[in-house]
Amino acid sequence: MAASQARNAGLPIINFLRLKGVSILQQLHLEERLLRTSSENWCIINDETTRPTIVMGVSGKPKELLETDAVLRDEIPVIRRFTGGGTVIVDQGTIFVSFICNKDAIPGLQSYPRPIMSWSSLIYKNMFQGIGEFGLRENDYVLGNRKFGGNAQSITKNRNHVEFICRLKEFMSRSDFINGTTDAVAAYFALRSPDADDIQNHSSQFEPSSKLLTRQELGDEASIDLVGTVSQAL
């Protein structure tokens, strides 16, 4: 304990929350509430979500980004999150790592996408030593020449999907990734385990804006009587 306290001396405190199988909509609601109502630093790791779900950025337009006929036919939930960025599909194989930090938690860090991505890449750089050639390319995390996380945008022509995307399970187990991320975060923060009251205190103070889109919002105006079918599925 003494050695741990000495190692963490001077580091900013972060509430470290590990979740298992929480739906991505619940996670987004929690993140937004903490962002808007808490003055503390938070790191949330959620190991998988409940079912395959499409998540769009705050300004995403379904008709431009989705094959809406197939989405409606297969009753795939579509969420518009409160943050920007691209459109992704998440499922039981996805691991989510989220940071909610005060500006002064990382001295000298500018509040712009590129500096933030550069800082977050440091979290993973040491973790992947000896496992793969980790790097930050544009706004994506890559191993070698293939992306495994980061910004959901990718501009490319005439390339098979598997040529620029890789799966982390090719390099490590889920538990190794989560434990490695935990150790990496501990190099920059003093980890604190929040209790139920810490979470409950922020549960009703803010109405989150991340939402499940209805069939009408997805462009199926001819089936207004079926609005809510997707939301029931989550």
pLDDT digits (tens, 9 = 90+) for 157-184: 446 545 568 888 888 999 999 999 999 9
Residue 155, domain member (yes or no): yes
Sign, Cα dihedral of 225, 228, 232, 234: positive
Residue with tokens 């000298």: 108
Residue 115, domain member (yes or no): yes
Lowest mean pLDDT, pick from 30-39, 55-64, 144-153, 181-190: 144-153
Q: What is the mean pLDDT of the chain?
A: 81
Residue 19, domain member (yes or no): yes
Q: Quick one: pLDDT at residue 8?
A: 61
Quick one: 88 and 72 in the same domain? yes
Are 97 and 43 in contact by the 8 Å Cβ rule? The answer is yes
Count of domains forming the chain: 2
C-alpha of 59 from chain center: 17
Residue 75 reports pLDDT greater than 90 = yes
Residue 153 reports pLDDT greater than 60 = no
pLDDT tens profile 42-70: 999 999 999 999 999 888 899 899 999 99
List the domain range (segments joined by +) for residue 145. Answer: 107-187
Q: Residue 109: left if φ>0, alpha if ψ -120 to 50, beta else—which one?
A: beta
**Whole-structure pTM value:** 0.81
